[in-house]
Amino acid sequence: MASWVLSECGLKPLPQIFSRPRTGPISCKPSKIRFLHSNKTGTDLKCFSTKILNGCFTERNWGLKVSAPLRVASVEGDEERKQRIDSANGFKEEEEEPKFDPSAPPPFKLADIRAAIPKHCWVKDPWRSMSYVARDVAVVFGLAAAAAYFNNWFVWPLYWAAQGTMFWALFVLGHDCGHGSFSNNPKLNSVVGHLLHSSILVPYHGWRISHRTHHQNHGHVENDESWHPLSEKIFKNLDNITRTLRFTVPFPLLAYPFYLWNRSPGKTGSHFDPKSDLFVPNERKDVITSTVCWTAMAALLGGLAFVMGPVQLLKLYGVPYWGFVMWLDLVTYLHHHGHEDKLPWYRGKEWSYLRGGLTTIDRDYGWINNIHHDIGTHVIHHLFPQIPHYHLIEATEAAKPVLGKYYREPKKSGPLPFYLVGSLIKSLRQDHYVSDSGDVVYYKTDPKLSGSSSK
């Protein structure tokens, strides 16, 4: 019977011993055809002939059942064969992506970022800005009235934390006036700015001008104005007390009032002195105006201390004022320090407005974001300080595709940003000074302040 089947198929019987199966293509010619089959007896082999011409078949349907080993040894390794096939098909292994260099000149221009931001983000609405002022002032007086009414030691600590945060919110609105992002009316900006800043003992014009210098020179080692790096020479010439106060918590969080009077180490001048080298001659009248307003507020506080008593004034105003100072120093420091990766500072020809601004850092403050008017969206604010605070989030989202890796997504905060205290402490232990030379420099660590060898 088997002979008849093989005969019908035009095949000769195969010998009983077969060679081991091989991988790869099998040549099938009409004259020689080989089959693999099991060693079991009674193999089911069916052949249906559909057309036979001159002893050759043109189409056959083979139903072949075989038992084969689970894995057949290949002539070449699987990985080698895969690489050979991929190479033949034009595929190449992905090369490892080079590490991002934050100091490299960006592949975009400031105009590219500006073009990505919707036009309405540049529109300043004075009524909307004034509504934030009205809200914050109402909250400030409401908190003071509530604290004075209850007047117990359970309420006072809560009041100090809340009121210190609200004083900081008032500062941010005055800061917008200084940038001109509050409104297009310079007189309105000046009046509101003086009222807000004087109420928390900040000389409006004196600070406005120095803060403008900070924005115009952000990221520059020598020319930046606030929280800029100390050169190695200046750092090593600091006395031990100054060095400890600058780099040991909580003292850096209390620095702002002293900065207003004396500026940073290595710089001279005062925000209250119209003849300070902070200002040019045509700005002196503005500085005098702000100093007079500051003095008037100090006199008012003296009168209130006489009326209600110094202890009550300390509880209602003094402690919240220092809470505001701590907020200001924490926020301004961490917008330029304390990122997980080291960020560059520049000198000379390597510095540009764009490259300096791209080293600033956005921060998330949880519930405080809305209270302090989204000042945590700091990168876009530094590049374009004319944008009102209520458009900063939208402008940042629009600019992210252009910024790419030059934008560092902030770590998400809980309701209250306690995690930032850890970032502050870590930075103060590591970021001490930069080299005296070099156009692109990074912070170095003094082992005496860090408690370990510098990395």
Per-residue pLDDT at 378 exceeds 50: yes
What was the pLDDT predicted at 80? 56
Q: How confident is the model at residue 289 (pLDDT cuts 50, 70, 90)?
A: very high
Each as own residue / partner, the long-range contacts of residues 448-453 (CB below 8 Å, 24 or more positions apart, any chain) are 449/243, 449/247, 449/248
What was the pLDDT predicted at 326? 98
Q: Average pLDDT over the chain, rounded to whole?
A: 85
What was the pLDDT predicted at 72? 41
What was the pLDDT predicted at 88? 52
Per-domain residue ranges of the chain: 1-74, 110-450
What was the pLDDT predicted at 6? 41
**What is the per-residue pLDDT across 444-453, written as a single tens digit (0 to 9) for each?**
999 988 765 4
Which residue has 């007189």 as its token pair?
187
Sign of the Cα pseudo-torsion (424, 429, 435, 438, in order): negative
What was the pLDDT predicted at 87? 54
Per-residue pLDDT at 152 exceeds 70: yes
What was the pLDDT predicted at 315? 97
Alpha-helix runs per DSSP H in 335-418: 353-357, 368-371, 378-383, 392-403
Please give the single-letter amino acid code of residue 141: F
How far is 438 from 436, CA to CA, in rounded Å? Answer: 7
Alpha-helix runs per DSSP H in 217-269: 232-236, 240-247, 256-262
**What is the per-residue pLDDT across 31-63, written as a single tens digit (0 to 9) for each?**
444 444 444 444 443 443 444 334 444 444 434
Q: How many CB atoms lie within 10 A of CB 203?
A: 27
